[in-house]
C-alpha cells in the first residue's frame, strides 16, 4: 500500500496535548507508518476565539519529543479561508445551503439528539423570516440513511435530517465551521485514511455528505476509543486533563499503546519513544484496537477530580 496511504493528525490548538490526544496521534501515526504511508499534521486553528496562544507550537514540540515526526509542512486552517469560501460558494451554486437568521436563544427549546446537539427545526429552510438578517449558513440535510463502515467501530448509519438536522457550515460570527473545513482540507491534503477519536464518529456522516456534494474523494475512517478519566469523562481541556509530561515519555507512550490494544512486551519496559514506536509500527493491527474506552490513570480516585 506504500505510496498510496496519506494519514493525518489534526489537533485543535486549544491547549497542550494530553493522554487522550496522544492516543489519537499515536493511532494515526502507526496506521500510516505500518504501511510505509505519509503522516501529516494539520493545525485546526479555525475557531480563533478557542485557540490558546502558544498551544500550536507546544503541540508540535510535544509530538517531536514523543518521536511522532510528521512529513512535509504543517497546514494551518487559519490560512485557508479562501478555500473554505470557495467550497461554500460551490454549495450555494448547488442550492445545498441556505442562510439562517436564528439566534442561539431562539433555538434553546429545539429538540436535541443524544449527543446534546440541537436538531435544527428548519425555521429558515424555506426562506428568512421577513426583516430578519442572515447570520449563519446551513446545509439542507437529506432525509436518507447515510451508511459507512468504520475500520474499528464497524457498520454505522445515520439519518442526517432526523438525527442532526440542517447543520452549520458558516457560523454567525463569520467563521467557517469545522465540518466544512475538515472535508476541504482532507481533500486538499490528499488524505486517504482518517484515524481520530471516537467523539467524532457521530460527525462523520455530515462530512461524508459534504464530500459527496462537493465531489471530493471519501477517505477511509477509523475512530479510536476515547480515553476517559476515573470519573468516566473524556480527557480534555474542559475536564482539566494534564498536559503530557516532559519526563517519563516512554511510560506515557506505553500506556497509549496499551489503550490501543498494543501493550509493548516486557522487554521494552523503560524504552524510549523511538524504540516503542518502531516496535508498534511493526506490530500494528487495527483489528486489535478495542472499540470501548480505556480508563487513564485508574489509580486516581474520583474524589480527587474536579467537578464536571
Ligand atoms: N481538531 C479536532 C480535534 O482536535 C480533530 C478533527 C479531526 O480529526 O477530524 O478534536
Check if the beta carbon of residue 90 is closer than 8 Å to that of residue 128.
no
The closest-lying atom of ligand 1 relative to the alpha carbon of residue 44 is 1
| Predicted model pTM | 0.92
Q: Is the CB of 11 under 6 A from ligand 1?
A: yes
The pLDDT of 225-244, averaged and rounded, is 82
Ligand 1 atom, smallest distance to 182 CA: 9
Dihedral, CA of residue 156, residue 9, residue 19 and residue 113, to nearest 10: -30
Predicted confidence at residue 302, as pLDDT, reads 39
The domain ranges of the chain are 6-79+225-300, 82-181
pLDDT at 230: 75
Give dist(CA 81, CA 86) in Å, integer: 9
Same fold, 6-79+225-300 and 82-181: yes
For ligand 1, whether the C-beta of 204 sits within 6 Å is no
Q: Provide the grid cell at 79.
A: 490560512
| Gap from CA of 11 to ligand 1 centroid (Å) | 5
> What CATH number labels 82-181?
3.40.50.620
Q: pLDDT tens digit string along 256-278? A: 999 999 999 999 999 999 999 99
- For domain 6-79+225-300, the CATH superfamily is HUPs (3.40.50.620)
Q: Is the CB of residue 10 below 6 angstroms from any atom belonging to ligand 1? A: yes
The pLDDT of residue 308: 37
- Cβ 200 under 6 angstroms from ligand 1: yes
Cβ of residue 102 lying under 6 Å from some atom of ligand 1: no
CA angle, residues 7, 10, 11, in degrees to nearest 5: 150
User: How high is the mean pLDDT of the chain?
Assistant: 92
pLDDT digits (tens, 9 = 90+) for 84-127: 999 999 999 999 999 999 998 999 999 999 889 999 999 999 99
Amino acid at each position: 500500500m506504500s505510496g498510496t496511504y496519506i494519514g493525518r493528525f489534526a489537533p485543535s490548538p486549544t491547549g497542550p496535548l494530553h493522554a487522550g490526544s496522544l492516543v489519537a496521534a499515536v493511532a494515526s501515526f502507526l496506521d500510516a507508518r505500518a504501511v510505509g504511508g505519509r503522516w501529516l499534521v494539520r493545525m485546526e486553528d479555525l475557531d480563533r476565539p478557542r485557540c490558546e496562544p502558544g498551544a500550536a507550537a507546544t503541540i508540535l514540540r510535544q509530538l517531536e519529543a514523543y518521536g511522532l515526526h510528521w512529513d512535509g509542512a504543517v497546514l494551518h486552517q487559519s490560512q485557508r479561508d479562501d478555500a473554505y469560501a470557495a467550497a461554500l460558494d460551490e454549495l450555494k451554486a448547488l442550492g445545498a445551503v441556505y442562510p439562517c437568521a436564528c439566534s442561539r436563544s431562539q433555538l434553546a427549546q429545539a429538540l436535541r439528539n443524544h449527543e446534546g446537539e440541537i436538531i435544527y427545526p428548519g425555521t429558515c429552510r424555506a426562506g428568512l423570516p421577513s426583516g430578519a438578517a442572515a447570520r449563519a449558513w446551513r446545509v439542507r440535510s437529506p432525509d436518507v440513511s447515510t451508511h459507512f463502515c468504520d475500520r474499528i467501530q464497524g457498520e454505522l448509519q445515520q439519518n442526517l435530517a432526523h438525527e442532526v438536522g440542517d447543520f452549520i457550515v458558516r457560523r454567525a460570527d463569520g467563521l467557517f465551521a469545522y465540518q466544512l473545513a475538515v472535508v476541504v482540507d482532507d481533500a486538499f491534503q490528499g488524505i486517504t485514511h482518517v484515524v481520530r477519536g471516537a467523539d467524532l464518529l457521530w460527525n462523520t456522516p455530515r462530512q461524508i455528505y459534504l464530500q459527496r456534494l462537493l465531489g471530493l474523494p471519501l477517505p477511509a475512517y477509523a475512530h479510536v476509543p476515547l480515553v476517559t478519566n476515573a470519573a468516566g469523562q473524556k480527557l480534555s481541556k474542559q475536564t482539566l486533563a494534564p498536559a503530557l509530561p516532559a519526563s517519563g515519555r516512554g511510560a506515557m507512550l506505553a500506556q497509549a499503546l496499551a489503550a490501543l490494544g498494543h501493550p509493548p512486551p516486557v522487554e521494552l519496559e523503560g524504552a524510549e519513544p523511538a524504540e516503542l514506536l518502531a516496535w508498534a509500527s511493526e506490530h500494528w493491527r487495527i483489528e486489535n484496537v478495542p472499540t470501548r474506552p480505556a480508563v487513564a490513570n485508574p489509580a486516581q480516585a474520583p474524589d480527587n477530580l474536579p467537578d464536571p
